[in-house]
Each structure stands twice: as C-alpha cells, then as structure tokens.
Amino acid sequence: MRGFRTIVSTWHNADIMREDLSDRKHSRIRSAIIVLLLLALLSFHVADSGAGKASEADAPVLRADHHMHVASAELCRLVGECLPSNHPPAVFAADAIRALDQAHVSKGVILSCAYLYGLPSLHLKPREIAALTRRENEFTAAQVAQYPTRLVGFLSVNPLQDSAIEEIRSWQGSRQLIGLKLHFTASAVDMRNTAERRQLAKVIAVAAAETIPIVIHLGGGKFNADDAELFIRDVLPSARESWVQIAHAGGGWSPESGNNLAVLRAFADHIVRGDTATRHVLFDLAYVPAPDETAQAAAVLAEQMRRIGMGRFLFGSDFNVLTPQEEIRNLRKLGLTNTEWQTLRKNCAPWAC
C-alpha cells in the first residue's frame, strides 16, 4: 500500500508539471514518467509476489507426522519394503527428514520396526527375537539422535515374547526412544485369548509405570468391534495416565474387511459416554482413509471422527509406506471443513511438540 500511494503522488506531480510545459516537451516527459511508473509497478508486483511465495513455502503445513518408520538393512533383508535407492536397501532418518521437508512438516515421530522380528512367518527362536529386537531399537535410537530437534523415537517389541518387558525397561530414561510401539497384527495377538489379554495388560502397565506414551496398531484382518470392546475393557485401563495413540484410527491398512469403521465406532461410543478408560486416547490418521477408499466410505469415517472430536486426531503418514505429501492429499477424501483441517494441522501430541 505504501508503494501504491507513492506512485499516485508521482502521477499527481506530473499533472502539475504539465501545465507549465509546451506540448512537445510535455509529451517527452510524460512518456518518460509513464515508463518509470510502469517499471515501479512491476518492481512492486515482483517484490510482493516473491514475499508471498517465500512465506508460503517456509510455513509448515502440519506440526508433526506422528507415524513414521526407519528400518535397518538387517531388517530389510528379512521383510523387504525398504527404499531400494539406499545401498543396501534400508530406511534412514535422512530419508524421513527429506520427506518431512518436502511436505513442510516440522517434526516426525519415528516408530521402531523391531516388532517385525516377532512375525510368526520368520520362525525365529525367542533368543533370536530378543537379540534382533534390541539391535533394531538401537538402530532406531541412533537414527533419531542424528536429528534431535526434528525427530523423536519409540522403541517396539512383540508383547507376547518373554523378553518384551526386559526390553522396555532397558530403555528407561532414554532421550531418543521416549515411547513404546506395539503392533498386535504383526505380533499375532488373539484378543479373544484371555491369557494374551493379560499379557498385553502386563506389558502396557510396565510402560505406564514410566508414564511413557504408547502407540498401538490394533486392527487389520479379522480384528473387529468385539475385539475392540475386549481391548477397551481388559487391556486399555492398564495404561493408566499414559497417553495411548491408536494407529490408523483404529483400523489396519485396508478397508476390505469392513472392520476399520466398526472399530473406530466402538471407540466413539465409549468416548461420547465419558468412559474414563478412553480419557487419554488419541488416534493417528496414517494411511487413513486408505488410498482405495471410496468417497462414501471416507465420509462415514469422517462422521465418526466428528463424534469423537477432531482434537483427538493426529496427522501421520506411515512413512515409508506413504510419504507425508501423499497422505496430505489422501486426507482430502474426508471432506473436512476448513476449521476441521486447521484443527488437524495444529494438533500435536505432547511428546512431539
């Protein structure tokens, strides 16, 4: 505005000058003034446009990605799904930082993939699982330590392994791994098995004794609303005052089973009636809605999110399955209002921001 007023003033002065000049002389001067004015306008436009673009590019779109992974070359040799651009294939903290920067996301929460060594399909012995789990958690901690202002990490275990509790306690007081990740599907948890529910509660209670946050991948496959009810009733209370982040908004990776929505609805029912067991429950939106989800299914999912309240939902990408940039585009399917999107953009778990 200041530049515009200056140009207007210059033009007014030129009109005064015109009264005292001959027509020929006035024509030359007027032409020169017009050229100068056009150049001034152009410079102001370029300056203003450049400032706007720089501001937009520098501003973070989201405060944190709450669901990211790194993976050692050792793990990648067994399970794959790692970045082939790395030699040998692996996923490093530098890859996560690059993905965060491309999407203008400020921070990332790195969830260890150590639980994958407990996959039944690998047929590893308990002693091997314990040793490999420790090495993968150490790898994750070392990666996170490279970017202390951008990344925080969570250790992970297979909760059904006898070594799980010892592994959790070994990281007490760590500055790099400040939370716990559990993956019930990969760990072959049967929620309908009473003994396994008790073991889950015991493992979660150990983490809760340190009041560390816990991320839990519940769903996927046959896990349904009945299983969610068993979890909320028998396992979740053992978390006590610890925050519990339910991965993928309660579901797994694919909407094919139709259980994802049912699981989220089960949580919504408990939350709206004020169940104290759910008072510290949050949900991340990693891989939600699924890329192949229909617009109609996504809209129904958004309804349950509104029942729960947008303040409980956290952005997550499930990097390196999806990048933060891809997940931001994916979230558009939910049809969130501008206010809801701004709430999601600002939401950040206390351990991340």
List, for residues 55-79, the tens digit of each pLDDT value: 334 455 899 999 999 999 999 999 8
pLDDT of 83: 84
* Residue 4 predicted with pLDDT over 80: no
The enclosing domain of 76 has a CATH number of 3.20.20.140
pLDDT of 43: 40
pLDDT of 29: 45
**320 closest CA partner among 65, 59, 136:** 65
Residues 51, 92: contact at Cβ < 8 Å?
A: no
Distance CA 283, CA 215 (A): 9
Residues 201, 92 share a domain: yes
The reported pTM is: 0.82
Asked whether residue 278 is domain-assigned, the answer is yes
pLDDT of 254: 53
For residue 71, with 0-12 CB atoms within 10 Å meaning exposed, 13-18 middle and 19 or more buried, which class applies? buried
Residues 342, 231 share a domain: yes
* Residue 322 predicted with pLDDT over 50: yes
Residues 340, 211 share a domain: yes
Asked whether residue 183 is domain-assigned, the answer is yes
Distance CA 318, CA 76 (A): 16
Tracing tokens 């956290």 back to the chain, one arrives at 314
Tracing tokens 């450049």 back to the chain, one arrives at 50
Residues 98, 47 share a domain: no
Asked whether residue 329 is domain-assigned, the answer is yes
Asked whether residue 134 is domain-assigned, the answer is yes
Residues 85, 7 share a domain: no
**Which residue has better confidence, 239 or 221?**
239
Domain around 70: 61-346
> Phi/psi of residue 106, each to 5°?
-70, -50
* Residue 159 predicted with pLDDT over 90: yes
Residues 147, 8 share a domain: no
Average pLDDT on 226-251 reads: 96
164-186 pLDDT per residue, tens: 999 999 999 999 999 999 999 99
Residues 68, 44 share a domain: no
Q: C-alpha distances in angstroms, 206 versus 26, 212, 244?
A: 88, 9, 14
Q: Which helix (H) or strand (E) holds 57?
A: helix 23-58
**Which residue has better confidence, 44 or 112?**
112
Residues 187, 115: contact at Cβ < 8 Å?
A: yes
Residues 71, 40 share a domain: no
pLDDT of 12: 35
If phi over 0 gives left and psi between -120 and 50 gives alpha, with beta otherwise, what is residue 154?
Answer: beta
| The dihedral sign for the CA sequence 184, 189, 191, 196 | negative
Residues 207, 168: contact at Cβ < 8 Å?
A: yes
Asked whether residue 247 is domain-assigned, the answer is yes
Q: How confident is the model at residue 110 (pLDDT cuts 50, 70, 90)?
A: very high
DSSP tag of 349: -
Residues 8, 122 share a domain: no
pLDDT of 15: 38
SS3 137: helix
Average pLDDT on 85-108 reads: 95
Residues 119, 21 share a domain: no
Asked whether residue 353 is domain-assigned, the answer is no
Residues 104, 13 share a domain: no
Asked whether residue 337 is domain-assigned, the answer is yes
Distance CA 165, CA 122 (A): 21
For residue 258, with 0-12 CB atoms within 10 Å meaning exposed, 13-18 middle and 19 or more buried, which class applies? exposed
**How many domains does the chain divide into?**
2
Residues 123, 24 share a domain: no
Q: How confident is the model at residue 19 (pLDDT cuts 50, 70, 90)?
A: very low
Distance CA 101, CA 75 (A): 26
pLDDT of 45: 37
Tracing tokens 């420790």 back to the chain, one arrives at 134
pLDDT of 258: 63
* Residue 220 predicted with pLDDT over 90: no
Q: How confident is the model at residue 82 (pLDDT cuts 50, 70, 90)?
A: confident
Domain stops at, among 56, 84, 100: 56
Asked whether residue 131 is domain-assigned, the answer is yes
Helical pair 93-102 and 324-331, crossing angle rounded to 10 deg: 40
Between 54-63, 82-91, 166-175, 253-262, the lowest mean confidence (pLDDT) is in 54-63
Between 87-101, 104-118, 139-153, 252-266, the lowest mean confidence (pLDDT) is in 252-266
